[in-house]
Amino acid sequence: TLDAAQLIEKVETYTRSGAHEPYRIMVVDDSRAQAAFMESTLRKAGMTSKIITDPMQVLIALDEFSPEIIIMDMYMPGCTGTELAKVIRQQDKFVSVPIIYLSAEDDINKQLHAMSLGGDDFLVKPINPRHLIATIHNRGRRARTLHAMMIRDSLTGLYNHTHTLNLLSMEINKANQTGEPLCFAMMDIDYFKRINDTHGHPVGDRVLKSMSLFLKQRLRKTDHIGRYGGEEFAVVLPNTDECDAKNMMNDIRERFGELMHPTESDTFKVTFSCGIAAYQAGNTQQVLAQKADKALYEAKHAGRNCVKV
């Protein structure tokens, strides 16, 4: 039998992947010469860039590229950088993305005005490449830390409720494009209140950690694992049909049930129940979550420690 304590040791080291991925920078500038300079400067610094010379393309590019930082020219045909910043800030998911103005505008009043309308920095052209890269590094590091905190649950390091649903909605869009199957599974630990009551809250917390690490180890890199509520977990399973999802979750359920969870003086076992919803064309993320919740309810009523579709 496996020891849950050994699992928990590793939970800390299992945190965010992608911490060293290159920054994704979107550059909005109508000047092709400036765009080319930016592209090569960012590439030399090991960053990934998306150059937009037509401001009308910004909104589409935002969704596709999902930048971590936006570098914005001030004067472009058809609109100004501040107008674009305003539109970008209206979208929830881009509220916290740093916007750095890079413009030849040297009037301090205009610079401050631009910053008051949603900009984070104002750099003046021509810019020393090292100055530019240092600014991006500082902004990027902080933006990444904040973003990681916003989307994760602090006890387990899994995605939080909101982000799990965002990922589900993203995978629904993908499934619509590719025609691949998609499943959403919800899990709830059985008699968890009794575990807390018998062994204490800290032991309950350790069970939650071992469950989350267990899921991370057993599921694929492409699956998204979330802590959906107190002792509820949810997983988004792309490219997985109902039958595969059921087999996968049943296997995980059985193996998790074999883990020995330690107390100061003893060990005990824990099980969970699981409900699975298979995506059908037209299902929204709310509908899919409701279907999984209903299946989970059936699993509980069937006596717990089982998987229902």
> Binding of Mg ion at residue 192 (CB under 5 A)?
yes
Q: Which two tokens stand for residue 160?
A: 């939080």
Cβ burial, residue 161 (10 Å; 0-12/13-18/19+):
middle
Please list, in sequence order, all residues whose beta carbon lies within 8 angstroms of the beta carbon of residue 4, skipping any fewer than 6 positions away: 206, 207, 210, 259, 260, 261, 262
**Residue 14 interacting partner from Mg ion, ligand GH3, none (CB closer than 5 to 8 Å by kind):** none
Which long-range contacts link 192-201 to residues 24+ away (Cβ below 8 Å)? 192/230, 192/231, 195/268, 195/270, 198/268, 199/263, 199/268
CB of 256 to ligand GH3, least distance (A): 14
**Residue 105 interacting partner from ligand GH3, Mg ion, none (CB closer than 5 to 8 Å by kind):** none
> Binding of ligand GH3 at residue 81 (CB under 6 A)?
no
Question: Is the CB of 147 or the CB of 300 nearer to Mg ion?
Answer: 300
Single residue of 188, 233, 234, 274 touching ligand GH3 by CB under 6 A: 188
Site string for ligand GH3, 204-243 (x = CB under 6 A): xx--x---------------------xx------------
> Binding of ligand GH3 at residue 190 (CB under 6 A)?
yes
> Binding of ligand GH3 at residue 269 (CB under 6 A)?
no
154 vs 157: CA distance, rounded Å: 5
Question: Which span (129-137, 141-149, 198-206, 286-294) binds ligand GH3, by CB under 6 A?
Answer: 198-206
Inter-CA distances, 290 with 59, 92, 190, 283, 295, Å:
32, 24, 20, 10, 9
Question: Is the CB of 65 or the CB of 297 nearer to ligand GH3?
Answer: 297
Q: Is 9 a catalytic residue?
A: no
> Binding of ligand GH3 at residue 189 (CB under 6 A)?
yes
Cβ burial, residue 239 (10 Å; 0-12/13-18/19+):
middle
Question: Is the CB of 46 or the CB of 229 nearer to Mg ion?
Answer: 229
Residues that bind Mg ion (CB under 5 A): 30, 73, 75-76, 188-189, 192, 231
Residues that bind ligand GH3 (CB under 6 A): 155, 188-194, 196, 201, 204-205, 208, 230-231, 300, 304
